[in-house]
Structure 1
Amino acid sequence: MTMRPWFPDAKLGVFIHYGVYAVDGWAESWSFYTGEVTHERYMEQLDRFTASRYDPKAWAELFARVGAKYAVLTTKHHDGIALWNTDHRNLDVVRDTPAGRDLVTGFVDALRDRDLKVGLYYSHSDWNHPDYASERHPGPHIVPANGYSHAEQGAQDPQAWARYLTYRDGQVRELVERFRPDLLWFDGEWERTEEQWRMGELAELILAGNPETVLNARMLGHGDYATPEQGVPLIAPEGPWELCLTINGSWSHRPTDHDHKSVRQLVRYFTETIAMGGNLLLGVGPREDGTIPEEQVERLEALGAWIARHSEAVYGTVAGLPAGHHYGPSTLRADRRTLYLMCLDVPRETVSIRGLRNAVRRVTVLGTGTELGHHITGGLGHVPGVTWIDAPGEADLDPYATVLAVELDGELDLYRGAGRD
């Protein structure tokens, strides 16, 4: 399918890992898979999950305020516990927890009321489903296999696996038909091959129900965009992409995890990502009651305030200069006539652009409008000189990243050669 234009211009999304794992603060699903906690103790959290202060309207208001254009909610993680009132029953919060209600409908409605795009996360794998561990990946396992995920050698049950796929397809069909998500964010794909998952059939099912749904690359050969996780790639993936990143070190609510990234670090992650043409999907982990921890709210709001001050350099832009032309991230206006240079450190004396063939019409500091002087040194024939921009004064510096708007005399024209022979 053709990528929907809203996605590459979204720039910022919010990833919400919310489920019963927040009751005791265990890692989502993985904690029982790896033995950090016993399966029995993990599942006891069902009895204490209330969502008593769950307010999706407050979530949506926060996300819109910080400049996010979409949000993704974990409707079912690898533990198999669905957050909506599913007719394809294994485990869900409606019947199996004191919350006793569908949590997805309110999320979807609240986002749409704020003109935010709706993303729903769904795990292909389900470590609690009785028919799931009945098939085995034929190749090497990315994650060590155990009885939650794979049948023992020689103990595969094709009929049980077929039942599991019917269950999975039924749940995905519900998500598509009931909620018509703008984006489906799949996970758990590493446990089987594309053929075992019947990914082609699943993609057909989704797009028949809603042809405009964007699919992530964890649909294997049927995804629309790449999803690198927890680290900015050094080379941008081909096509649209998104970096998914936690604010601390955990996806879900872990009250013992105090390793929060600073606002400056988050601004760096964000600018480096959009400078390479990607979106940042920033993860938050609500508490069991549905409230988002204050440390995460504060960082979202500070990042959002930086975006608001520099929105011209964020929305309506594409990837900026390749590495080496400017020592920092940059974006380019969609008409390719204005460059935005992000200065992550305080500029000293000058800011330079190498290989710029264009004449520069004007340079201003975004947010203050102060105009800066500029000049060129060097250059020979077809090899342009270096464009030097005067460093902004202290009054023009942003506490996290100062942005310079460089207006060009035409569409960006860069020299990419090796210099004079």
Structure 2
Amino acid sequence: MKKILLLLVVLLFVISGYSQQYKNNWKSIDSRPVPEWFEDVKFGIFIHWGVYSVPAWAPANADIGVYAKYSEWYWSRINDNSDAGKLFREYHNTMYGEDFQYQDFAPQFKAQHWDPEQWAELFKRAGAKYVVLTSKHHEGFTLWPSEQSWNWNSVDIGPHRDICGDLTKAVKDAGLHMGFYYSLYEWYNPLYHNNLEKYVDDHMIPQMKDLVNSYKPDLLWTDGEWDHPSEKWKSTEFLAWLYDDSPVKNSICVNDRWGKETRSKHGGFYTTEYDLVHEGQKGEIQKAWEECRGIGTSFGYNQMETPDNYMTSDALIDMLVAKVADGGNLLLDVGPTADGRIPAIQQQRLFDIGDWLQLNGEAIYGTRKWNDADENKHDNVYYTRKGNDLYVLCTRFPESSIEIKGIKKVSNVNLLGFNGEVNYKKSGKKVTINIPQLSPLTNPSEYAWVFKIENAFK
């Protein structure tokens, strides 16, 4: 009996010790590895959808910088005196009148044509493995029935639906990972401006814990951190809870936007946005990282964008290849309309990416950066590695042979999707791939082409 009691005491001690594994400081929080699933998935879908989807406007072609073209910043822009703000305000006053308040858009955000299952199937067909929904942008409007956002959420007004809950179910049923974007700050919340500590304690942290406890996401993507250092946001305190005591403590991933000093320094995976790297250079990053951007110039839907503002399918696939080859993920944004439809041009881009991934996905999913890639530079050629296999990804079809150094052994070389033979020559630790002649009938891809070198590192 004494032995049993002793074992129980030891077990309780171990459990207690584990629950305190992560402490309230960055050294401890940063010691937690990014869960491996995040580095395996490589391609995800970002969704910016909210009250800003009603005016859905930004000057897409104005020379005002990248960030000033974000339609989701509509409320803030109509109230600032920047060059961008003047354009937003002129449009707003002309279209709606000076007395029309941003809050008056909320009842028009109806989502009447929204089908979460259709969205989930679209994202799955696109080859995405995870989804990140804006649960709350800087406007403070939540897409779930948050107690802290009474009458400023998607259940009390507008769609009258728990968008976070409905989409979470659809995405998880489709076999994808589900995550949430969450803005730490809010532009016009009086509590945020008058009593930051109370805002953090009584509004922000309860909302984040509610998201985690209610929907059990695999990813929490924070933003809006730049006004204050992480200490003021109590970020390490929240993350210690998330990693130790939350229902998703083992699987949850977070990014690096937890305070004005944290990007590319603290948190989980590092983030870049429209290729802008914050507080560091991408080449120096030794941690998991992710590029996020829209297909066009904005994250939220912008009715002013034309086909010229959207990246082509070719360019998007090339970008995916480049980010993955550099060890990162691509989180590509869609901006739905206020009634719940994803614009056809955005869907078409996703279909093309999905078709390409269906053929070439083994060179993307589960791969890692090849450390010898810099010693094997060729124009429009990238590399990924999975186990003993090396993938050679060509964003333009090669006009001549490709010589690759650092190859121990080769059992075969093939072009994914091509039934013909690929000739190669192995000499020492170097292999030369002879490029096959393709016809319209034998060409496996419209965009990037992938050569697979099997058992290159045995």
Deviation (angstroms), 1:161: 1.6
Distance in structure 2 (CA, Å) of the matches to 1:277 and 1:169: 32
Decide whether the 8 Å contact of 2:425 with 2:432 is kept in 1: yes
Deviation (angstroms), 1:16: 0.2
Instruction: Kindly provide the amino acid, as one letter, of the partner of residue 22 in structure 1.
Output: S
Partner in structure 2 of residue 295 of structure 1 = 345
Instruction: Kindly provide the amino acid, as one letter, of the partner of residue 268 in structure 1.
Output: D
CA RMSD of aligned residues (A): 2.1
Partner in structure 1 of residue 16 of structure 2 = none
Deviation (angstroms), 1:53: 1.0
Distance in structure 2 (CA, Å) of the matches to 1:301 and 1:28: 24
Partner in structure 1 of residue 146 of structure 2 = 86
Decide whether the 8 Å contact of 2:363 with 2:391 is kept in 1: yes
Determine whether 1:346 maps to 2:397: yes
Q: 1:332 aligns with which of 378, 385, 390?
A: 385
Partner in structure 1 of residue 37 of structure 2 = 6
Decide whether the 8 Å contact of 2:218 with 2:253 is kept in 1: yes
Determine whether 1:217 maps to 2:264: no
Decide whether the 8 Å contact of 2:144 with 2:155 is kept in 1: no
- Map 1:298-309 to 2 at 5 A: 298-309=348-359
Deviation (angstroms), 1:129: 1.1
Partner in structure 2 of residue 205 of structure 1 = 241
Partner in structure 2 of residue 273 of structure 1 = 323
Deviates more, 1:183-192 or 1:209-218: 209-218
Partner in structure 2 of residue 142 of structure 1 = none
- Map 1:34-73 to 2 at 5 A: 34-35=77-78, 36-37=88-89, 40-73=100-133
Q: Secondary structure at the match of 1:118?
A: strand
Deviation (angstroms), 1:97: 2.7
Decide whether the 8 Å contact of 1:84 with 1:92 is kept in 2: no
Deviation (angstroms), 1:245: 1.8
Q: Percent identity?
A: 32
Determine whether 1:183 maps to 2:219: yes
> In 2 relative to 1, CA 88–402 (structure 1 residues): closer, same or farther, beyond 3 Å?
same
Partner in structure 1 of residue 457 of structure 2 = 410
Instruction: Kindly provide the amino acid, as one letter, of the partner of residue 348 in structure 1.
Output: E
Deviation (angstroms), 1:3: 2.1
Instruction: Kindly provide the amino acid, as one letter, of the partner of residue 171 in structure 1.
Output: Q
Q: Secondary structure at the match of 1:274?
A: helix
Deviations 1:318-356 (A, max 9, x none): 1134224042111111x2x21110111121131221x32
Deviation (angstroms), 1:232: 8.1
Q: Secondary structure at the match of 1:270?
A: helix
Partner in structure 2 of residue 196 of structure 1 = 232
Deviation (angstroms), 1:409: 5.0
Deviations 1:214-261 (A, max 9, x none): 111112365210111112876262211111121111100001112110
> In 2 relative to 1, CA 31–183 (structure 1 residues): closer, same or farther, beyond 3 Å?
same
Q: Secondary structure at the match of 2:159?
A: coil
Instruction: Kindly provide the amino acid, as one letter, of the partner of residue 185 in structure 1.
Output: W
The unaligned stretches of length 5 or more in structure 2 are 1-31, 58-69, 79-87, 93-97
Q: Secondary structure at the match of 1:245?
A: strand
Decide whether the 8 Å contact of 1:16 with 1:283 is kept in 2: yes
Instruction: Kindly provide the amino acid, as one letter, of the partner of residue 273 in structure 2.
Output: E
Q: Secondary structure at the match of 1:18?
A: coil
Q: Secondary structure at the match of 1:100?
A: coil
Partner in structure 2 of residue 235 of structure 1 = 283
Determine whether 1:15 maps to 2:46: yes
Decide whether the 8 Å contact of 1:236 with 1:276 is kept in 2: no
Decide whether the 8 Å contact of 2:53 with 2:72 is kept in 1: no
Decide whether the 8 Å contact of 2:407 with 2:457 is kept in 1: no
Distance in structure 1 (CA, Å) of the matches to 2:210 and 2:117: 23
Instruction: Kindly provide the amino acid, as one letter, of the partner of residue 356 in structure 1.
Output: G
Determine whether 1:262 maps to 2:315: no
Distance in structure 2 (CA, Å) of the matches to 1:278 and 1:3: 13
Q: 1:164 aligns with which of 199, 203, 209?
A: 199
Determine whether 1:250 maps to 2:298: yes
Distance in structure 2 (CA, Å) of the matches to 1:69 and 1:357: 31
Decide whether the 8 Å contact of 2:146 with 2:153 is kept in 1: no
Distance in structure 2 (CA, Å) of the matches to 1:261 and 1:273: 16
Deviates more, 1:25-34 or 1:186-195: 25-34
Decide whether the 8 Å contact of 2:275 with 2:291 is kept in 1: yes
Distance in structure 2 (CA, Å) of the matches to 1:237 and 1:374: 34
Partner in structure 2 of residue 140 of structure 1 = none
- Tell me how many residue pairs correspond in the alignment: 377
Deviation (angstroms), 1:92: 2.6
Distance in structure 2 (CA, Å) of the matches to 1:230 and 1:133: 29
Deviations 1:133-188 (A, max 9, x none): 23xxxxxxxxxxxxxxxxxxxxxxxxx22221121111111101101111000001
Deviates more, 1:164-173 or 1:224-233: 224-233
Distance in structure 1 (CA, Å) of the matches to 2:449 and 2:72: 41
Deviation (angstroms), 1:28: 4.6
Deviations 1:174-220 (A, max 9, x none): 10110111100000111111111111112133332231321111123
Deviation (angstroms), 1:86: 0.9
